[in-house]
Structure 1
Amino acid sequence: MEHRALVHLLCVLGVFHKGLTDLIRTQQVVTAAAGEEARLSCQLVEFKDVFQVTWQKVLPEREETLVTYTTTYGERVNPDFKDKVEFADAGLQSSSIIIRNVTEQDEGCYHCLFNADPEGALTGTTCLQVYELHEPVLHVGDSNSEETVVSCSATGRPAPTVTLTVLRDNVHFSDPVSVSNTNGTVTVTSTAVLTGLHDDSTEVRCAVRVLSGPQKEKIMMIPAEVKQSADGFSEDSGSEITAFTTITTLSLVLSLCCVAAAVTVLLIRKHRNRIETPLMQ
Structure 2
Amino acid sequence: MARTTPRRWRDIATDLLQRIEAGDLSPGDGSSGRRRLPPEKELESYYGASRNTVRDALSWLQQQGFVVSEQGKGTFVVHRPNIVHVTLSAAELGLAPGNRSGQWYNRDAFIPASREVTVSPVKVEVQEGTKVIARYLQTNPGSEFVSRHQELFLDERPWALQTSFYPLSFATEGASRLLYPRDIPEGAVAYLGETLGYSEVGFHDEIRARIPDENEKRFFNLGDSAADVVFETVRTAYSPDGKAFRLTVTVWPADRTRLHYNNGKVPDDVLRTPGLGPSDHAPRESPPADDAGSG
TM-score, normalized by the shorter chain, greater than 0.5: no
Higher relative contact order (CA 8 A, sep 6+): 2
Would you tell me which structure has more strand in proportion to its own residues?
1
Would you tell me which structure has more helix in proportion to its own residues?
2
Of the two, which has the highest radius of gyration?
Answer: 1
| TM-score, length basis structure 2 | 0.27
| TM-score, length basis structure 1 | 0.28
